A and B are shown apart, each in its own frame.
Chain A
Amino acid sequence: MDFELTDDQVALCDGIRDLCQGRFDIDTVRGLADCGGVDRQLWGELVDTGVFSLVVPEEDGGVGLGWAEAGLVFEQLGRALVPGPLVGTLLAAGVTDDAVVGLIERTDGSALVEYPDVLDALLVLDGDGVWRVDAAELSFELAQSVDPLTPVGRVAELPQGEEVGGCYGWVNRAVFLCSALQVGLATGARELAVAYAQERQQFGKPIGQFQAVKHKCADMYSREEVARAALYYASCVLDAPELADEDRAVSGARILAAEAADHNGKDCVQVHGGMGFTWEIDAHLYLKRAWALTPCFGSLDEHAERIAAMV
C-alpha cells in the first residue's frame, strides 16, 4: 500500500497547476462570463494538454491514465475556477467527436442546461442509455444563473437524441469528477482566506493571529483534507473496482467534497468581512461554483441513503 501520490502524479498536478496559472488567471476566468463560459482557443489548450482524453486508452489516441489522475487534474481545474462543461467533455471523449460537450440527466418536463451557448452537443443520461443531442436541436431561454461562470438555459423538453452507448458507470464517474472539482474549490477558497488573514490588519495585527480567524482557517483545511482522502479513495476504487464498493466510495466522496466546498466558500466570505460580500473579491466565485456543482446526479440526501443501505 502506498496511498501517496507517485512522482508522475505529482508532476501531472504541477503541470496542470502551471497551465491554469499561465492561461486561466483570475481575470481571464472572470472574462469568460462574457462568452458563455468557454473561449474556444483556451478550451483547445485544455484539449491539447490531454485534459479530456486522460482516461481514453492510448491505442484510441488518449493519454491512457486512470481515474486517480483524472481526479487530480479536475482538482486543479476547480482550484483555479476554470469554467466550462468539463465533466461532460471528459466523459464524452472516445464516445463523440464534439469538442465542447454538456451532460445532463433526463427528467420529466423542463431542464436547466449548463453552458448552453457554447455546446457542440449535449449528452443525456437516462435509464436506457446515453443519448447525443446536437446543439442545433436545443432551443433554450437563458436564465440568470446563481454562478456567473455557470450560465444556464431552460429547455422546455430535452430532445430524444441518438443513442451513443450504455450508461453503465457514467453516473458514478460524473459524480466523482464533480467531487474532484469541489475539493479543488475548497482548496482555492481556503488559500484565498489564509492569504487574506496573513495580510489584513486590524487592531494593529494580522487578523490571522486571532484564534477566531485562525481556527476557522484550520477547520477549512481539515474539511478539505478529509474530503481529499475520500476523493483519492474513490478514485482508487474506480480504477480497481474489485477493491471495494464503488457506489459507497463515490457517494462518500460526493458528500464530503460538496460540504467542504460549500463550507469553505462561506468561511472564505466570512474571513474577508465586508469585502467578502463584494463582487470584486473572488470568495463568492468559489461558493457559487460549489453550489452549481452540488445538484448533479442525485442530492446529498440520496447519496447518504445509498451509503446507509450498506451499513
Chain B
Amino acid sequence: MDIRFSAEEIAFRDELRDWLGEVLPTLGDPPDRDDWTARREWDMGWQRKLYDAGYAGINWPSEFGGRGSTPTEHLIFLEETTRMGAPYVGMNFVAQLHAGPTLILEATAEQQARHLPAMLKGEEVWCQGFSEPNAGSDLASLSTRAIRDGDHYVVTGQKIWTSFGHVADYCELLVRTDQEAPKHRGITWLICPMDLPGIEVRPITTVAGSSEFCEVFFDEVRIPVENRVGDENDGWRVAMVTFSFERGTAFISELLGTMNQLAEMAELARGIRRNGSTAWDDDEIRREIGHLQAEYDALWALTKRVVSQAQRTGMPGPGGSVFKLYYAEVKKRMADLAHRMLERGALVLAEGGGDEQTGGDMVASRLYVLSLSIAAGTSEIQRNIIGERILGLPKER
C-alpha cells in the first residue's frame, strides 16, 4: 500500500509539466459551446499537439503507435493536464478510449493500419452507435438490423445518445445480424463511415440546452463486410471487451475538475455577502463544503486503488462501478449547495464558453449533473452489477 510515485513516474510528470507549460499559453481561447466547426478544430488540434509531443494514445501499446504508458502514468497524465487546464479529450473520447482500444484488441491488421494512426493524429472523429430508443439499459435487445447482401451489410434502424454524431467521421456500430439467435448472440460490430448514403443525423437538445447528443437514422445503408470487427454475431463480446476500460480512468479528469470547482465554490462562499456576514459564515454551508471535499478525496483515493489494480492485473478492479455510482450522487449535492449559496443568483445561466464536462458555471452544472447517473450505464444498472457480480446476489427471475 504505497501512494508514492517512483522516480520514473516523477520524471514523467516533470517532463509533461514542462511541455504543458510551453504549449498551453499558445492555445488561445476555447471555442463557443455551439460552434461545432471551431470545437472540432480545437479538439483535433489538441490531439495533434499531443501526437507531435509523443503523448497521444498514452495508454495504447507502443506497437500500435501509442506511448505504452503504465496505468499510473496515465493517471499522472490526466491529473497534470486537468490541473494545468489543458483541453479535455472532448470529441476524441470515443476514438481514444473506446473504439481505438477495441480495434487494438479485435480488428484486423488492415483495419488497424487504416484507423489507429489517424485516431492518434486527430484526423478522425468517432462516435458510438450502441443505444437505441428501445435498447437502453437492455442494450443487448438492440434491433437495428443488418442484412448481408454480397460483400455488404445493408443496415436499417435508429441509434440514439450518439455524442458528436453530427461531426463524426466514423461510428462504432452494433447491429443485429441474426434475428433468431438469443439476443446476445446475434449482434455484430461494424465500422461505419458517417458519410455513407442513407445516414441522417439529428441533434438532440438536452435539458442543459446543448446539443452534443444525436439521433442517427440508417435507411438501407450499405456497409462493406470488410468493415466488420470480429466475427459475425460475436459483436456483443467485442463491445464488452472495452467496457470495463471505460470505468477505470474515464472519470479522472471529471473528478479533478470537480475538485477545482469546489475550491472555486469555497472562494465564492467567502465572498458572497448577506445580512452582514458571508455564505461561508453559515455553518451548514461550510460543513457541507468540508464534507464534499472529504468525499472527493476518498474518490480520488478509490481511483488510485482501481488504477493500481489495473497495473497489477491488466484490468481495472470493480471500483469503477462504485466510483460512478457514488460520484454522481456527491456531485448532485455539490450542485445543490451552489444553488443554496447563490440564492436568487441561481436563476441566471452564464452564457456560452466553458466546458460542461469539467467546469463550466455552477448553474449549468446543476443541469449537467443529472446525466451523471444515466450516461454509460444508469446508477440502477451499476447497482445491479455490484449486487450480482460483486456481492453474488441472484439475478431477477
Which positions in A face B, CB cutoff 8 Å?
Answer: 1-6, 9, 68, 194, 197-198, 205-206, 208-211, 214-215, 217-219, 221-223, 225-227, 229-230, 232-233, 235-236, 240, 243, 248-249, 251-253, 255-256, 301, 303-311
14 pairs, CB–CB < 8 Å, chain A vs chain B: A1-B5, A3-B2, A5-B1, A194-B393, A198-B394, A205-B394, A205-B397, A208-B394, A211-B383, A217-B393, A218-B325, A233-B301, A252-B297, A307-B294
The interface size of chain B toward A, counting residues with CB under 8 Å, comes to: 53
Taking CB atoms, residues of chain B closer than 8 Å to A194 are 391-393
**CA distance in complex: A3, B293 (Å):** 21
Chain B 359-386 near chain A by CB (<8 Å), digits 1 or 0: 0000000000000000000001011101
**CA distance in complex: A221, B326 (Å):** 11
- 12 other A-B residue contacts (CB within 8 Å) besides A1-B4, A248-B293: A194-B391, A208-B393, A211-B380, A217-B393, A221-B390, A233-B3, A233-B297, A233-B298, A236-B3, A307-B290, A309-B290, A311-B263
A230 touches B387 (CB 8 A): no
Q: Which residue of B lies closest to A206 (CB)?
A: B394
How many whole Å from A148's CB to the nearest CB in chain B? 29
Taking CB atoms, residues of chain B closer than 8 Å to A240 are 4
Partner of A248, one of B297, B302, B383, B395: B297
A222 touches B396 (CB 8 A): no
Partner of A230, one of B266, B301, B386: B301
How many whole Å from B272's CB to the nearest CB in chain A? 15
**CA distance in complex: A5, B2 (Å):** 8
Residue B201, interface by CB 8 Å: no
Q: Which B276-296 residues have a C-beta within 8 angstroms of A?
A: 283, 286-291, 293-295
Which positions in B face A, CB cutoff 8 Å?
Answer: 1-6, 9, 72, 75, 262-263, 266, 283, 286-291, 293-295, 297-299, 301-302, 304-305, 307-309, 311-312, 319, 322, 325-326, 380, 382-384, 386-388, 390-397
Q: Which residue of A lies closest to B6 (CB)?
A: A1
B386 touches A68 (CB 8 A): no
B322 touches A225 (CB 8 A): yes
A2 touches B386 (CB 8 A): no
How many whole Å from B280's CB to the nearest CB in chain A? 9
Taking CB atoms, residues of chain A closer than 8 Å to B312 are 2, 4
Chain B residues touching A, majority SS:
helix
A3 touches B305 (CB 8 A): yes
Partner of B1, one of A3, A214, A217, A307: A3
**CA distance in complex: A165, B294 (Å):** 31
Partner of B302, one of A2, A225, A249: A225
How many whole Å from B262's CB to the nearest CB in chain A? 6
Taking CB atoms, residues of chain A closer than 8 Å to B299 are 226, 229
Partner of B2, one of A1, A226, A310: A1
B263 touches A230 (CB 8 A): no
Given contacts A194-B391, A208-B387, contact A305 B286 (CB under 8 A): yes
Partner of A209, one of B295, B386, B394: B394
A256 touches B294 (CB 8 A): yes
B262 touches A311 (CB 8 A): yes
Which one of B1, B6, B299 has the greatest number of beta carbons of chain A within 10 Å? B1
How many whole Å from B58's CB to the nearest CB in chain A? 16
Taking CB atoms, residues of chain A closer than 8 Å to B262 are 311
